Structure 1
């Protein structure tokens, strides 16, 4: 079998480069619509253009990057259809996740969700708050102990992160103060094993972000 499998080193480097670029996008260095030039990225990261090209392909598969022959690679700008599809898919996944957590999750898993919610209280800016929000939902899906559901969440996780970053970029009024309280309410409903209330609160939480995006993106598309 020698020589039939490509070396793993380059793949590992491309993964690391993808992590760095992803972090830069999530940190606000490259907002939606920003160009991601291979030459500039390779110089900044101290690597050749090959791993950068591979990393951009990975990020394109995640939905964070879009490539067009006449523009090259850019950070994804969500369309009205993107927003609608992400919201509806997220709603379906969360409905299943919340039901499973309430029905089966042990108390220590709900405690881990509560810990994730508490970290929001220390967030210093909107980008950190969005990261905490995503980590909260990571904890919810982990508590389901449903591997395929977790895989489905991770398939759209980066796009949901971009969704929330786009939301705060459009309107961040009251965001830092409101989000921790919203998540305390979600935790309380999970701890009470109150399925109806929890589903309603998760839906309201999603709807707030969706309404901001739908209003601004819908207006710009007219």
Structure 2
């Protein structure tokens, strides 16, 4: 096991946080088994909180449980990929329109700051975190509470989507993502809705195309 003990015993939410982070940083890859006994020993908690944590992560879409296999990290199917891409696209259209129409200078600065943080990302998994943080800033700037909750409902799955994308190929990934997000910030700053929507769609399509092509390349 490569995860450390939870800081406090008996807290299923904290156990879920530890397992989620292990998934997001690549210690548990899609399809990897999540065995209650092993997790209980590694995290030094009883199996009850482990089971509750796995159920919580299953509701997020990060874990799948099958009677003959137990719990595993979700491996996205072709249908999962298509559904996440289309739903993410629908939410982003509203978010981008609202940001262009009414975002404050302070909110735009936070979006730009999130993009600038990508310059410090040295690994694909760090860059995926920065990518998610950038989109968090976009949804925050949209100032639409129900839209933000809709994004939060799929956020972990989109994170897994992007991890799956970098597992397919990391060739040119770090610089490509930096450039794309600099362009996204510039489009939002210009206030051109159609131009911004086009660039956000292209950004999504690049990830979708890599994921669905099945091609692989060395970083």
TM-score by length of 1: 0.92
Match of 2:124 among 103, 123, 126: 126
CA drift at 1:59: 0.4
CA drift at 1:132: 0.3
Alignment correspondent of 1:27 = 25
* Cα distance in structure 2, aligned partners of 1:46 and 1:139: 36
* Cα distance in structure 2, aligned partners of 1:182 and 1:211: 15
Alignment correspondent of 1:77 = 75
Alignment correspondent of 1:100 = 98
Query: Any residues of structure 2 matched to 1:130-141 within 5 Å, and which?
Result: 130-141=128-139
Spell out, residue by residue over 1:33-84, the C-alpha distance to the aligned partner (whole angstroms, 9 max, x if none): 0000011111111111100100000000000000000000000000000000
Alignment correspondent of 2:64 = 66
Structure 1 residues not aligned, in runs of 5+: 1-8, 218-222
* Cα distance in structure 2, aligned partners of 1:198 and 1:46: 48
Runs of 4+ displaced beyond 6 Å: none
Alignment correspondent of 1:146 = 144
* Cα distance in structure 2, aligned partners of 1:177 and 1:88: 25
Q: CA RMSD in A?
A: 1.3
Alignment correspondent of 1:3 = none
* Cα distance in structure 2, aligned partners of 1:59 and 1:183: 29
Spell out, residue by residue over 1:128-180, the C-alpha distance to the aligned partner (whole angstroms, 9 max, x if none): 00000000000000001100000000000000000000000001100011111
CA drift at 1:215: 1.6
CA drift at 1:212: 1.1
Asked whether 1:171 is paired with 2:175, we answer: no
TM-score by length of 2: 0.93
SS of the equivalent of 1:30 reads: coil
Query: Any residues of structure 2 matched to 1:112-123 within 5 Å, and which?
Result: 112-123=110-121
Alignment correspondent of 2:3 = none
SS of the equivalent of 1:86 reads: helix
* Cα distance in structure 2, aligned partners of 1:190 and 1:107: 11
* Cα distance in structure 1, aligned partners of 2:75 and 2:41: 25
* Cα distance in structure 2, aligned partners of 1:100 and 1:156: 20
SS of the equivalent of 1:74 reads: strand
SS of the equivalent of 2:64 reads: strand
Asked whether 1:201 is paired with 2:202, we answer: no
Alignment correspondent of 1:89 = 87
